[in-house]
Structure 1
């Protein structure tokens, strides 16, 4: 499998491509990373250095990949945080050109906008752009519950309302929706859930909720789920593998006492997930 991943990159720590690439490689996926920024560290530190890469330069890199004859070999286009409005046009153009060269290729979009605690942390135009142009072009989307609500103009909080919002999101274009954090008031204390739905059904998995916030964990989640799903077409299995791997990554990070994901140290969790969580079919 070959993945073209259009995301940010940092030298220190792990977010964007700096979070997604290694786990994908560790499960045997060939990755072509294209950077949208090249920062010293993620912006959560409040200070960083390095350049935003212009949409024209990102497009040039992708064109160079095309000139090497790689487009027919690409199975997945993956995108995450979009720092500027112009990047969306570049991504959508790449999706159109790659799927023309390889009609079986799929586009997986992590529609990064924000979360329930922080609200939106992207430029005001980005959520509208994602909802109106980018998400309808995707085959897979991986929003959190807050982002799912924005995309569908709903307020999902129960399992039933989250499923209803997922159905609305799927009606926008994507056939597969992974909700990366389902927080409903009637869930068991100290737990967190992930939910996925596709043409064959809907499934949910419950894991312990760890007392931490880890930048980049959503990027790892989107990458691993997309690769497993593209490889097998089995949403339940992809959900189980992803939940197992990401939970162990987060557990290792928490135990380390470090702020940044222990991405390399947790590599066995990607290559050989323990499959310690049961996936339950909802419909």
Structure 2
């Protein structure tokens, strides 16, 4: 048997996220892992920065909605088609509105050809009560979700609260928020990437524990919780890589629970690798911020060599 006999055709994905020249957030955290997992990744960048904002300074610019639509129209002209869409950080109203139009069109074109496209949307807006995009993106996300074309959403606790306009303080309020989300937007799966035990009245673990929660439209009253012990240190790009790997696993396994479990295991290993190589000393806004960058190359090199 030759190498030509075992070639497996890649699966295609349109990844619409931020881009940084240095570091691993947005498309930089997603593209290489997906390529290593046999995905053909088309990258559409919502921003083009020298580095992410955590460094305290950066150079570069943001793409306008008109620019993204122009690029997408070029892709349509050559009839590029996709098996999946991955959307992450979008900075403002105009650009997010364009992203919604692009993804809706990809889904509509596929449906007209009797094909399916999986859309995983990560509504990157903020964390732990801090909003780091323009406030007017919140209603745009709701409008996008109203199309009922999004298959999987991966918000954190704060982002879910913003989308349903409700505070979450206990498991009962969490179930209520998720039920509203499922019923209103018909999203198949909601994967809450982080719930902080200390902000809940009825979750064990305190400050040293976070949870990942999975809710499916078929079982809206049943939550699956994964308890995660915190790894000390500050890490960037974790959610971006998590969403990319989840897209891969769901596509291949068809099981959201199994997929989340496998991705959490991988992410633990990535963070452990990053910490072992110095990822505990970095802090937002200082010169050691680069130590917080995920060691994507080092981790994947070990896995695939």
User: TM-score band (shorter)?
Assistant: 0.7 to 0.9
- In 1, the alpha carbon distance for the partners of 2:41 and 2:67 equals 19
TM-aligned CA deviation for residue 51 of structure 1: 2.0
Indicate the structure (1 or 2) with the bigger Cα radius of gyration: 2
Contact 2:182 2:217 in 1 (8 A): no
CA distance in 2, matches of 1:268, 1:167: 41
Q: Normalising to structure 1: TM-score of the pair?
A: 0.88
CA distance in 2, matches of 1:187, 1:271: 37
- The equivalent of 1:175 in structure 2 is 188
TM-score by length of 2: 0.82
Aligned partner of 2:271 in structure 1 is 250
Question: Residues 135 and 141 of structure 1 are in contact (CA less than 8 Å); yes or no, is this contact kept in structure 2?
Answer: no
Matches within 5 A, 1:177-216: 177-185=190-198, 186-189=203-206, 190-201=208-219, 202-216=223-237
After TM superposition, list the pairs within 5 Å mapping 1:10-49 onto structure 2: 10-49=20-59
Q: How far did residue 265 of structure 1 move? A: 1.1
Q: Deviations over 1:20-62 (max 9, x none)?
A: 1111112222211101111100011111111222222211221
Query: SS at 1:70's partner residue?
Result: coil
Report deviation, 1:252.
Answer: 1.2
- In 1, the alpha carbon distance for the partners of 2:166 and 2:118 equals 27
Q: Is the CA contact (8 Å cut-off) linking 1:245 and 1:270 kept in structure 2?
A: no
Task: Indicate conservation of the 8 Å contact 2:63/2:95, yes or no.
Answer: no
SS in 2 for 1:266: helix
For the residue of structure 2 that corresponds to 1:61, the secondary structure is helix
Q: How far apart in 2 are the matches of 1:134 and 1:270?
A: 37
CA drift at 1:231: 2.7
Distance 1:224 1:270 in 2: 14
Count of aligned positions:
268
Cα 1:217–1:271 change in 2 (3 A) is: farther
1:151 and 2:169 correspond = no
What RMSD over aligned residues (CA atoms) do the two structures have, in Å?
A: 2.0
Separation in structure 2 between the aligned mates of residue 13 and residue 43 of structure 1, nearest angstrom: 11
User: In 2 relative to 1, CA 60–242 (structure 1 residues): closer, same or farther, beyond 3 Å?
Assistant: same
Partner of 1:124: 135
Distance 1:63 1:3, change over 3 A: same
User: 2: CA distance between counterparts of 1:172 and 1:271?
Assistant: 42
SS of structure 2 residue aligned to 1:143 = coil
Deviations 1:134-188 (A, max 9, x none): 2333221110011111111222232332232222222231221010001124322
CA distance in 2, matches of 1:218, 1:85: 21
Q: 2:238 aligns with which of 198, 213, 217?
A: 217
Shift of 1:226: 2.0
Q: 1:92 aligns with which of 84, 90, 100?
A: 100
Any stretches of 5+ residues in structure 2 without a counterpart? Answer: 1-10, 279-290
Bigger drift between 100-109 and 29-38 goes to 100-109
DSSP-derived class of the 1:265 partner: helix
Superposed CA offset, 1:227-264 (max 9, x none): 21133220111111110111111111111112211111
- Closer, same or farther: CA 99–205 of 1 in aligned 2, 3 Å: same
> Is 1:70 aligned to residue 80 of structure 2?
yes
Q: Could you tell me how far apart the structure 2 residues matched to 1:233 and 1:271 are? A: 24
Q: Distance in 2 between matches of 1:3 and 1:182?
A: 28
